[in-house]
Amino acid sequence: MKEAVMECLRCILALVCVGFGLVKHSQALIDNSFRSSSLESSSSSTTIRMTTSLSSTPLVLPDPRLSHWARAASDYLRSLDCTTVTFTSQSECQRLQSLDTRQMNVYLAGPRSRDTLVAVLPDGGLSRGKSHDAVLVIDPYPTAAFGHLVIVFSLDLDTDWEECRNRLGWYIGDGECIQIIEKRRCRNKLHRKTGRRRCEINFLPLVHLEGDDDTEQQLRCFSNVGSFGACPQYRSDTGNYTNRCELSHNTYRCELPVQHVIARCKIYEICDQAVLISGGWNRQTSQQHNVQNIRGVYSMLREHGFKRPNIKTFFADSGDILLEEDELSNRNSYPATQKDAIRNHISTLCRVTNCVETLVIYLNSPVMNDGTSLLWDTDSDGVASETETYTASEFLGDIEDCRAKRIYVIADQSFSGLLAETIITSEKHNNVVVFASGGATEYSWNDELTWQWVEANHTTQCVDGIFEDYVDTMTSLPIMAEGGFNAANSTIFGAPCNTLPFFTQHEIKLNFMGCQNLPMKWWLVKFKESRNSRS
Q: What are 132-168's pLDDT values in tens digits?
A: 889 999 999 999 999 999 999 999 888 888 888 888 8
Amino acid at 366: P
Contact 319, 335 (CB under 8 A): yes
Q: Are residues 332 and 193 in the same domain?
A: no
**331 is a domain residue:** yes
pLDDT at 57 over 70: no
Strands (E), 253-349: 269-278, 311-315, 333-334
One domain, residues 54 and 186: yes
Q: What is the DSSP code (8-state) at residue 20?
A: H
pLDDT above 90 for 104:
yes
What is the structure's pLDDT at 54?
Answer: 55
325 within some domain? yes
Rounded Cα distance, 323 and 338, in Å: 19
pLDDT at 452: 96
Give strand ranges (E) for 250-387: 269-278, 311-315, 333-334, 356-363, 373-374
| 335 and 440 inside one domain | yes
pLDDT of 110 reads 80
Range of the domain at 501: 271-533
Residue 39 pLDDT > 60: no
> What is the percent of the chain where pLDDT is above 70?
79
527 in the same domain as 393: yes
Instruction: Specify whether 328 is located in the same domain as 182.
Output: no
Q: How confident is the model at residue 186 (pLDDT cuts 50, 70, 90)?
A: low
Residue 511: the pLDDT is 85
Span 344-356, average pLDDT: 93
Cα gap 420→410, rounded to integer Å: 11
Number of folded domains in the chain? 2
DSSP state of 188: -
Could you tell me if 214 and 285 lie in one domain? no
pLDDT of residue 480: 96
Mark whether 292 and 357 lie in a shared domain. yes
pLDDT digits (tens, 9 = 90+) for 191-235: 444 445 678 899 999 999 988 888 899 999 999 888 899 999 998
The 3-state secondary structure of 83-111 reads: CCCCCCCHHHHHHHHHCCHHHCEEEEECC
**What is the pLDDT averaged over residues 510-518?**
86
Write the CA distances from 262 to 183, 309, 311, 362, integer angstroms: 41, 9, 11, 19
Q: What is the value of pTM for the model shown?
A: 0.83
The CA-CA-CA angle for residues 410, 411, 414, to 5°, reads 160
Residue 244 lies in a domain: no
